[in-house]
Amino acid sequence: MNQATKASLISAFICPGGGHFYLKRYNTGTLLSVVTLGALIYLLNQAIARAQDISQQIISGQLPLDLSVIYPLITQPPAAEQALYSNIALVAFAISWFVGVIDAYRLGAIADKAAE
């Protein structure tokens, strides 16, 4: 398997930026990893905060333990400002993952041509 394929698979399935680390492009790999993991941490924090809020309402007795009452609270969209930041984090996550795979393949193809 050539370096381009290995690097793109590492970036696609392990971590964005992982293919860059494989190709010894540490600055780019670090940037992609930090952006992706930062966006993922933000999104997970928002999901956990929402789950904790709902569970606290259940524990305090404000909400009954009934799926027909809880499900709409889980699926309702967040407040406007929170939705904006969540959308930005989601877009940053997706773009950094996509760019990581494509750029790792591009850099691997350059390295493959240089090795020939």
Predicted local distance difference test score (pLDDT) of residue 81? 87
User: For 62-72, what is the mean pLDDT?
Assistant: 89
For the chain, what is the total number of helices (H) and then of strands (E)? 5, 0
Q: Confirm whether pTM is higher than 0.95.
A: no
Predicted local distance difference test score (pLDDT) of residue 66? 87
The backbone torsions φ and ψ at residue 6, rounded to the nearest 5 degrees and listed phi first, read -60, -50
User: For 50-61, what is the mean pLDDT?
Assistant: 92
Going by pLDDT thresholds of 50, 70 and 90, the confidence category of residue 80 is: confident
Digit-coded pLDDT (tens) for 26-53: 999 999 999 999 999 999 999 999 999 9
